[in-house]
Chain A
Amino acid sequence: MSAHSDQRPTGIFLAAAGLVLLPYLGVIAAFWFMQQSAAPFFDLQDNASYLVLLALVGLGLAGIVAAAFMLRKHLNREPLQDPLAMQDMNEQFIEAGKMASIGELAAGIAHEINNPVAIMVEEAGWLDDLLQDDPEMAKSPNFEELKRALTQIRTQGARCKEITHKMLSFARKSDLRMQNINVNTMIQEVAALSEKRARYANSRIELALAQDIPPITASASEMQQIFLNLINNAVDAMENKGGEITITTSKSKNMVEIQIADTGAGIPKANLARIFDPFYTTKPVGKGTGLGLSICYTIIKNMGGEINVASQVDVGTTFTIRLPVTEAKNHDQKVAGSEKHSQR
């Protein structure tokens, strides 16, 4: 790989130089030809000059095509020889872009939304002040309605503030301390937290945790956030008819695998590609922000893990997470929460 990296710049340079120079060479050659030719240049009756001109133009074109081809080949050299490596690079590139955008987006949107909302809320407040002040107004039959409407504007403004808070609680860097985490214990805790909500929605949470799960290195609050988001989504998906959430853990090679499966509504194929996008939601206004999965995705990718989804409409959805196991030398560090029962 390093061998062609060394050759690449020279190759690209030559190809680019050729591409730039060839048309000039063609023009110079044409001028030279004009000078040499006794006949007027555009006298195309003269078959000989016509043919020579045509040949020169043809040669020039061929040169350009050849140079373009060389340039392309040089630029694509590595993918041609190692398509997988290129794919990885592309993916990383896209991910890096996505991650930067969620954090920045959150801060940017908070600012951009809260400022105009603050203005609206203050204007409503000012109307309220005026209403309060004017004894004539108090006699108006619409007085109560006006007051109610103004209060509503204030309430909705507060709601905007809350949404931006939610976004930023993720973007905040404060409690991102990495520690060794026992995934099973954490799942038990989060499942206990969610049980009540699940029961309201007529669904049950089943745990199938493997015995020999090694610890992973992660931020405890981020891990909780991932499981909560996924369980909440599952509960939402089963809201109508109830059902079952099954959380499974297992170990595969040097990864811990966690599956969260529900028997809910499922996700239509057309939506699958979008569910990890920030702000993508199919839930009614006020219910979902569409940030849950994009947050999960970002956290997991940052940890060097992966998250996949498999779903069938009216059958259910399974999210599969794979997270890298803590490297052996860190094993004897304190494992968060493992003093209690680590398996059920």
Chain B
Amino acid sequence: MSLAKVLLVDDEVPFVDTMVKRLSKRDFEIFTAYSGQEALDQLQEHPSLDVVVLDVKMPGMDGITALKQIKSKFPLVEVIMLTAHATVESAIDGMKLGAFDYLMKPAEIDELVDKVKKAEKIKRDREEKIREAEAREVFLRRGD
């Protein structure tokens, strides 16, 4: 079974291109976006996306703004912030806004893979709970 569906968002095109190859090789299904707006469009178009790996500093809509919108429009999607900004602050801001975790560039691929897998698991668990809750409600309603 293919692992998580991951959306990579970064304005550094060669970075995205190489990460696509490396992550695909590790059995993830990768989608890409080069700006915050493109990321939102991709999420709209592919509702089955599990995890977003989001650059913090991008021209136009930056990562933090994109994160807010992702979390309000697609609350189940998990977001990992990936920043070149060596300051933890922006990354921590991101976590306060609901990001799952953060990584500093340059990051070790194994670390990224590990975080993506964890994020995906959290998303799956939550979806499972929602399904259970829905089933219970249906059951209760029938029981009336």
Contact = CB atoms under 8 A, between A and B. Distances in A.
A165 B22 contact: no
Q: Classify the secondary structure of A's interface with B.
A: helix
Interface residues of B, number: 20
Interface of B: 12, 14-15, 18-19, 21-22, 25, 57, 84-87, 89, 104-109
B16 to A, nearest CB: 10
A107 B85 contact: yes
Interface in A320-342: none
A102 B25 CA distance: 41
A146 B74 CA distance: 44
A107 B15 CA distance: 20
A209 interface: no
Contacts, number: 69
Nearest to B55: A115
19 contacts: A110-B86, A111-B84, A111-B86, A113-B84, A114-B104, A115-B15, A115-B105, A118-B84, A118-B105, A118-B106, A118-B107, A119-B12, A126-B18, A126-B21, A154-B108, A157-B106, A160-B106, A161-B105, A165-B86
A122 B18 contact: yes
A339 B66 CA distance: 50
Contacts of A168: 86-87
A171 B104 CA distance: 17
Contacts of B14: 119, 123
A9 B21 CA distance: 66
A295 B58 CA distance: 29
A165 B109 CA distance: 20
Contacts of A174: 89
Contact of B106 (A111, A117, A129, A165): A117
Contacts of B19: 122
Given A118-B106, A122-B18, 17 more contacts: A107-B87, A110-B85, A111-B57, A111-B85, A114-B85, A114-B106, A118-B105, A119-B14, A121-B106, A123-B18, A125-B22, A129-B25, A157-B106, A160-B106, A161-B86, A161-B106, A165-B86
